[in-house]
């Protein structure tokens, strides 16, 4: 059931309590996002709700503000939020505390790897908001440790990620312990069949709000591109693209934990501020890495899909897929780490010709285009660096110490030579790495893609690998023929 709600232009229009409005103002919120404007009135009315929106659109405040407005005077837990990961649980709890602190809202997080007694103590002392992961919450409920637990409002956040991580059965069990006369809200970026079936079971005549275009699975603020490379070029290609794009803050997704460690070490050795994040790390180490990334002490996070599930960092400018994910849903979740809260983002994917099948599957399910690009050559990169350096020098303010250095050097060196030496020092810091050419040109990649499509259409196979080898061998026999644009 779709609901047409009046769009609210200001948070004051919702009629929240004064102390909740103070929290909104203190958090720096200016105007409701589309999902907030549509969902908040329905939640205030007490309706069960399905809220479908991409990550980074303000879903936490969309359910948190009206829920806290309703349960602020309670002396026990009134709002339960179930999230797929410990990292997301902490983020949601922190945001809800910030928004509700002037109303006296206390929050507790419940997840594995931490003390049972401390978590139970916070709940028993009257935390009005509990944010929990499925495993620990099910354990507390089934063992009887969590007594007299009757939240009025229950939110299932990032439901599709729960499905991807295999938590659906745990979720069904958890809801068997919760009160029947509750208000239930289900938030999900995508709505696969198992999630729709779950919604029918746990929600009562729900309203539905969606700001996701059915033909556009990802945020239009995200520029998406892919680059075709040889497998052996993967790391060089990634480094070259990082050098060229100069990301403010980036997440690099790898398939395996061993790749995360190796790639993080490679980037650190090249002078980048990077750290790895994967499931073999203990919780304290993971928390430290996420905290460092969020506070910009590091600006590149190399992670596996599971480790980065639900990671909410609003200023991620780039996402790099070191390997293309196997399914469209994983691609949507990865790409959704950038372009959040109305900011622009860029998603870059590396593929080899034998991965065209995965690319076509993702493109078929996406509305937004994923454009083919070619990796800049070292010469192109150097030209870009020279242009940017010229702009920096033109805008730079002259310090008093610079005049003293110039005066001292002018006794022995001509001023034009001093300038050239200074610029040369700056250029040395901007030096690019890797071979001159990396990956396939756009023309060559398009030809290989069409060849794959044709082969796949007629034979149903994954495409002929021999064509790629033949192309390489032909170039070896004709070294004078360039494959570049």
251 strand-pairing partners: 301, 319
The reported pTM is 0.62
Query: Nearest to residue 80, comparing CAs of 88, 68, 69?
Result: 68
The residue that leads in pLDDT, 473 or 70, is: 70
Rounded Cα distance, 257 and 238, in Å = 17
| Average confidence (pLDDT) over 111-131 | 91
**Is 152's pLDDT higher than 60?**
yes
434 within 8 A of 236, measured Cβ to Cβ = yes
Q: Enumerate domains of the chain plus CATH numbers.
A: 11-210 (3.40.50.300), 379-429 (no CATH)
Residues found in the chain: 485
183 within 8 A of 51, measured Cβ to Cβ = no
Rounded Cα distance, 107 and 462, in Å = 51
Per-residue pLDDT, 403: 73
Q: Which of 26-30, 66-70, 260-264, 458-462 has the lowest mean pLDDT?
A: 458-462
Query: Nearest to residue 53, comparing CAs of 32, 36, 40?
Result: 36
Per-residue pLDDT, 269: 92
Q: Mean pLDDT for the chain?
A: 84
The residue that leads in pLDDT, 395 or 331, is: 331
Query: Nearest to residue 251, comparing CAs of 164, 339, 362?
Result: 339
pLDDT band at 330 (very low <50, low <70, confident <90, very high): confident
Give the distance from CA 383 to its chain's centroid: 31
SS (H, E, C) the chain: CECCCCCCCCHHHHCCCHHHHHHHHHCCCCCCCHHHHHHHHHHHCCCCEEEECCCCCCHHHHHHHHHHHHHCCCCCCCEEEECCCHHHHHHHHHHHHHHHHHHCCCEEEECCCCCHHHHHHHHHCCCCEEEECHHHHHHHHHHCCCCCCCCCEEEECCHHHHHHCCCHHHHHHHHHHCCCCCEEEEEECCCCHHHHHHHHHHCCCCEEEECCCCCCCCCCCEEEEEEECCHHHHHHHHHHHHHHHCCCCEEEEECCHHHHHHHHHHHHHCCCCEEEECCCCCHHHHHHHHHHHHCCCCCEEEEECCCCCCCCCCCCCEEEECCCCCCHHHHHHHHCCCCCCCCCEEEEEEECHHHHHHHHHHHHHCCCCCEEECCCCHHHHHHHHHHHHHHHHHHCCCCHHHHHHHHHHCCCCCHHHHHHHHHHHHHHHCCCCCCCCCCCCHHHHHHHHHHHHHHHHHHCCCCCCHHHHHHHHHHHHCCCCCCCC
- Per-residue pLDDT of 240-249, as tens digits, reads 999 989 899 9
pLDDT band at 428 (very low <50, low <70, confident <90, very high): low
Residues 6+ apart with CB under 8 A from 371: 224, 225, 226
Q: Which of 80-84, 106-110, 130-134, 359-363 has the lowest mean pLDDT?
A: 359-363
Report residue 251: phi and psi, to 5°. -115, 130
Query: Nearest to residue 431, comparing CAs of 373, 384, 375, 485?
Result: 384
The share of the chain scoring above pLDDT 90, in percent, equals 50
| Average confidence (pLDDT) over 145-167 | 89
**Is 457's pLDDT higher than 70?**
no
Q: Which of 178-182, 234-238, 304-308, 386-390 has the lowest mean pLDDT?
A: 386-390
- Bridge pairing between strands 49-52 and 274-277: unpaired
The residue that leads in pLDDT, 29 or 217, is: 29
């Amino acid at each position: 059931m779709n609901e047409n709600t009046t769009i609210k232009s200001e948070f004051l229009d919702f009629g929240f309590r004064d102390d909740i409005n103070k929290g909104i103002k203190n958090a720096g919120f200016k105007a409701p996002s589309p999902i907030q404007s549509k969902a908040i009135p329905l939640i205030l009315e007490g309706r069960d709700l399905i809220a479908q929106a991409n990550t980074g659109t303000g879903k936490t405040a969309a359910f948190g503000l009206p829920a806290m407005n309703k349960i602020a005077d309670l002396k026990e837990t009134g709002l339960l939020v179930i999230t797929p990961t410990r990292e997301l649980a902490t983020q949601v709890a922190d945001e809800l505390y910030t928004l509700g602190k002037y109303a006296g809202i206390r929050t507790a997080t419940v997840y594995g790897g931490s003390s049972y007694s401390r978590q139970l103590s916070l709940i028993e002392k009257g935390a009005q908001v509990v944010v929990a992961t499925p495993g620990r919450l099910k354990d507390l409920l089934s063992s009887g440790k969590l007594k007299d637990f009757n939240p009025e409002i229950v939110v299932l956040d990032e439901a599709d990620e729960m499905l991807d991580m295999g938590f659906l059965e745990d979720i069904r069990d958890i809801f068997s312990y919760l009160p029947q006369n509750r208000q239930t809200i289900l938030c999900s970026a995508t709505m696969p069949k198992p999630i729709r079936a779950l919604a029918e079971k746990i929600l009562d005549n729900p309203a539905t709000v969606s700001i996701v275009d059915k033909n556009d699975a990802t945020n239009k603020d995200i520029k998406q591109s892919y680059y075709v490379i040889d497998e052996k070029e993967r790391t060089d290609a990634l480094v070259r693209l990082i050098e060229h794009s100069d990301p403010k803050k980036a997440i690099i997704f790898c398939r395996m934990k061993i790749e995360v460690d190796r790639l993080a070490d490679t980037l650190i050795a090249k002078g980048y501020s990077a750290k790895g994040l994967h499931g073999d790390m203990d919780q304290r180490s993971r928390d430290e890495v996420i905290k460092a990334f969020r506070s910009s002490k590091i600006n590149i996070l190399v992670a596996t899909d599971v480790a980065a599930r639900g990671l909410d960092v609003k200023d991620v400018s780039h996402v790099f897929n070191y390997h293309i994910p196997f399914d469209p849903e994983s691609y949507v979740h990865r790409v959704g780490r950038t372009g959040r809260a109305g900011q622009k983002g860029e998603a870059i994917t590396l593929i080899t010709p034998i991965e065209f099948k995965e690319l076509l599957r993702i493109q078929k399910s996406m509305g937004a285009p994923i454009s083919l690009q070619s990796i800049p050559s070292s010469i192109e990169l150097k030209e870009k660096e020279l242009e940017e350096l010229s702009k920096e020098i033109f805008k730079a303010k002259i310090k008093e110490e610079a005049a003293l250095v110039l005066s001292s050097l002018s006794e022995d060196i001509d001023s034009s030579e001093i300038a050239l030496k200074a610029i040369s020092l700056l250029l040395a810091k901007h030096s690019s790495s890797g071979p001159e050419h990396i990956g396939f040109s756009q023309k060559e990649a398009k030809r290989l893609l069409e060849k794959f499509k044709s082969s796949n259409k007629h034979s149903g196979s994954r495409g002929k690998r021999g064509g790629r080898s033949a192309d390489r061998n032909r170039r070896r026999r004709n070294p004078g023929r360039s494959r570049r644009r």
